[in-house]
Structure 1
Amino acid sequence: MDVIVKTRRGFEKIAASHIGEVLGPGAEVEPAPFGYLGIVFVKAPGSDKWALAQLIAQKVPEADRVLVVEKLVPADPAEIEKAAVEVAKRYINPDDTFAIRTTRRGSHTFSSIDINVRVGAAVKEITGANVDLEEPTKPLYVEIFQDTAAVCIPATGEYRKLRRDKPLALGYLRKVALGQFVYEGDEEAVRKMGERIGRAVQTFEVGELTILLHKPVQGRALRAFIQAVEEGIESRYQIQVKSYGRAVWKVPVYVYELYQYVRAREGEPIVVTDPKGEYVTHVKEKLAELFSRERVNILIGAREGVPPGVFRFATLVVDLVPQVTIATDFVVPSLAIALISALEEAKALPKYTGRRDKKLRTLT
């Protein structure tokens, strides 16, 4: 093989077909080799494999990652280390950073971490480059297929959710105490709206949600709304617990009467969302000042807005999208995105600086 293409599982044949069309009849394209999904082998005798890889990267969107095979060796740690060092000598400079990315397929007496540690130590010694497991300038891939290991250089970049200098929003969202008016209507509509609101507040892991009453509400409607909100929170929370690599905050739910809530939060920042307010980015400096406090209370209406009398007790009244009245189930996502954007513009958010995993750096 000259090039290994990684694609979504189930897209191997589609990707292989498009690769064959792009490269022409001289190319040998094998989808799902050895039955491994998400993989396509490409070989084109007599062609420049880097040119092939670049062409695939440019023309085939099904190719999530394109790897140029520099060495093929038996799947033995000593052989892999030797081959990786040879590749690294011409690929990695002392002022680069690198990481070893190993994927095993098949049964072996060693793990992917074993290869990462062994090869990483050898590459560091021979090149003098530093290890950066998060954002290496020169990642080196080891793709193992049963008895064969391929040492590869990527022809496509790496994408990561959290990169250095990205703003960190979660701590600021945790300061948000939402006051959400009860949504009224037929029971089915109330349940759907409540579940959507619950999923939204849990998605952003706000500090708390208080369901606010500002007039008499039918007990059945209130019960349905609260139950649906809690079901939405639980549904999203379970997904987060399974998929996140960190602890997840489960949003607590309270019920309070609006005017007593405002009195109880006297002395704390209170922000009202309403089209009559200032555009959120125009008050970004004030918002940054408010978010230096432990808790920021934000009131959200439902069908009818927050009563104007409450505006006098608010620290700020903000408009999230001028000329647009946002549907109730879209307010929380719109609010969270607008707040974080405004705080970032005000340079109030801390930046991600990378993990400081001394143990891994020592091992590699």
Structure 2
Amino acid sequence: MERVCASYIKDLNPKLEVVSAPKGFSGLVLVGGADDKYELARLIKERVPEADKVLIIEGVAKAEIPSIAEEVTKIIKDKISPDETFAVRTVRRGSHEFTSIDVNVAVGAKVKEVTGASVNLEFPDKVVAVEIIGGDAYISIIDGKELWRKKGPTKRPMYRLFRRFSIIHEPYLGPLDACRTMGIRIGREAQTFEVDELIIAPKGPVKALELKTFIEGVLEGIETRYQVQVKAYGRDVHKVRVYVQDMYQVVRDRSNEVLIVLEPEGKPVSQCIDELEELILRRRKRINLFIGAREGVPLGIYRFANLVLDIAPGITIATDYALSSALIAIATLIHDKFSEEW
């Protein structure tokens, strides 16, 4: 992709010196020879979507910590003010006797000494980017707003809220291969959102082999997703607990808790923001979300529910998408209020 990106950049100005994969390091494009590097950066951002990030080089130094720190001192004074926060991000390519953290510490100390600015590693106003390519270090100053983050000061992790959710799901029964496939998908969905528990809830007598196959699929789906989360997340991951209970008995046992039914006969979810905030955020009880499969949640249960929701009026949502669709819809509607109150 760097060759494609380099070609499009070259088209902006044939006089530019453009090097893709400098020194053999893939994913990089070095550009030189611009009369106005700031204007060129603006054009690349506007016209070359293949460029994920566009860094303007403010200084170049040998790939040695003292040289990098000295170069940063020369360029930093007018770039970061005392009332701003900053962070240092170093990416090394090649073999060196120091680590990226060593560079971060040395450069960070120098920036703080020269500017008087304070460090903010999570949401800095400015970022000092040190890109080391072999024996050279390229230094850029980036506005913190330009960096895309999965986490941000206005975001709250919704898994903390979903930990209070109990999913009461009708089993998908029928051909054994379909039972297993649907079980795997539903199990993965439940684990993706890290809900507290998943109750597989038949409404009466069912064929044992079909139910067994569905449950095996659910457990497999939970386990495979859980293993991915454990490796990828930098935090403890909640593994969804699985139970089997008659759906009507769940209603009886939890009649004093919040019961929400997901079915097309309900109110459009967009009209239920106030009710959802009241039930989910203010009552602070366990939330029981009922989801049907081939036949749906029985009408009699509607009378005992605090709320019956239709998350996509006019659309019949496939069973294997119902759980994730419901949780995403709820999260979208109450995220901001959840962020304020929790």
Task: State TM-score, norm by structure 2.
Answer: 0.94
2:194 corresponds in structure 1 to: 205
Q: Give the C-alpha shift of residue 172 in structure 1.
A: 1.0
Q: What letter matches 1:118 in structure 2? A: A
1:18 aligns with 2:8: yes
Q: What letter matches 2:306 in structure 1? A: T
Q: What letter matches 1:152 in structure 2? A: S
Q: Report Cα offsets for 1:120-168 as digits up to 9, x if no partner.
A: 1111121122222122222111111222111123489110011112233
Distance in 1 of aligned mates of 2:188 and 2:340: 26
Report SS of the residue matched to 1:66: coil
Distance in 1 of aligned mates of 2:301 and 2:295: 14
1:149 aligns with 2:140: no
1:189 aligns with 2:182: no
Distance in 2 of aligned mates of 1:258 and 1:116: 56
Change (3 A) 1:74 1:16: same
Q: Give the C-alpha shift of residue 279 in structure 1.
A: 2.2
Report SS of the residue matched to 1:133: coil
Distance in 2 of aligned mates of 1:263 and 1:351: 31
Q: Give the C-alpha shift of residue 240 in structure 1.
A: 1.4
Q: Which runs of 4+ in 1 moved over 3 A?
A: 348-352
Query: How many residue pairs were aligned?
Result: 339
1:48 aligns with 2:48: no
Q: Which deviates more, 83-92 or 205-214?
A: 83-92
Mapping of residues 261-300 of structure 1, within 5 Å: 261-291=250-280, 292-300=283-291
Q: Which deviates more, 85-94 or 150-159?
A: 150-159
Question: Is residue 168–residue 350 contact of structure 1 (8 Å, CA) maintained in 2?
Answer: no
Distance in 2 of aligned mates of 1:342 and 1:146: 49
Question: Is residue 19–residue 31 contact of structure 2 (8 Å, CA) maintained in 1?
Answer: yes
Q: Report Cα offsets for 1:48-105 as digits up to 9, x if no partner.
A: 1222222111111111111111111111111111111211112111222211111111
Report SS of the residue matched to 2:260: strand
Aligned-residue Cα RMSD (Å) equals 1.8
Q: What letter matches 2:121 in structure 1? A: L
Q: What letter matches 1:143 in structure 2? A: E
Report SS of the residue matched to 2:316: coil
Change (3 A) 1:351 1:13: farther
Distance in 2 of aligned mates of 1:350 and 1:216: 45
Q: Which structure would you say has the larger RCO, counting Cα contacts within 8 Å and 6 or more residues apart?
A: 1
1:238 aligns with 2:227: yes
1:215 aligns with 2:204: yes
Q: Which deviates more, 175-184 or 97-106?
A: 97-106
Distance in 1 of aligned mates of 2:332 and 2:120: 29
Match for residue 114 of structure 2 among 102, 107, 126: 126
Question: Is residue 66–residue 154 contact of structure 1 (8 Å, CA) maintained in 2?
Answer: no
2:314 corresponds in structure 1 to: 323
Q: Give the C-alpha shift of residue 350 in structure 1.
A: 4.2
Q: Which deviates more, 284-293 or 60-69?
A: 284-293
Distance in 2 of aligned mates of 1:27 and 1:34: 19
Task: State TM-score, norm by structure 1.
Answer: 0.88
Question: Is residue 180–residue 209 contact of structure 1 (8 Å, CA) maintained in 2?
Answer: yes
Q: Give the C-alpha shift of residue 343 in structure 1.
A: 1.8
Q: Report Cα offsets for 1:179-235 as digits up to 9, x if no partner.
A: 000112211222221111111111111111000010221111111111111111111
Question: Is residue 165–residue 351 contact of structure 1 (8 Å, CA) maintained in 2?
Answer: no
Distance in 1 of aligned mates of 2:89 and 2:103: 9
Q: Report Cα offsets for 1:339-358 as digits up to 9, x if no partner.
A: 1122236x234489xxxxxx
Change (3 A) 1:235 1:195: same
1:311 corresponds in structure 2 to: 302
Q: What letter matches 1:342 in structure 2? A: L
Report SS of the residue matched to 2:78: helix
Question: Is residue 180–residue 299 contact of structure 1 (8 Å, CA) maintained in 2?
Answer: yes
2:246 corresponds in structure 1 to: 257
Q: Report Cα offsets for 1:253-299 as digits up to 9, x if no partner.
A: 11111111111212111111112222223232222222232311111
Match for residue 60 of structure 2 among 56, 69, 72: 72
1:176 aligns with 2:190: no
Identity of aligned residues (%): 46
Distance in 2 of aligned mates of 1:338 and 1:44: 50
Question: Is residue 177–residue 210 contact of structure 1 (8 Å, CA) maintained in 2?
Answer: yes
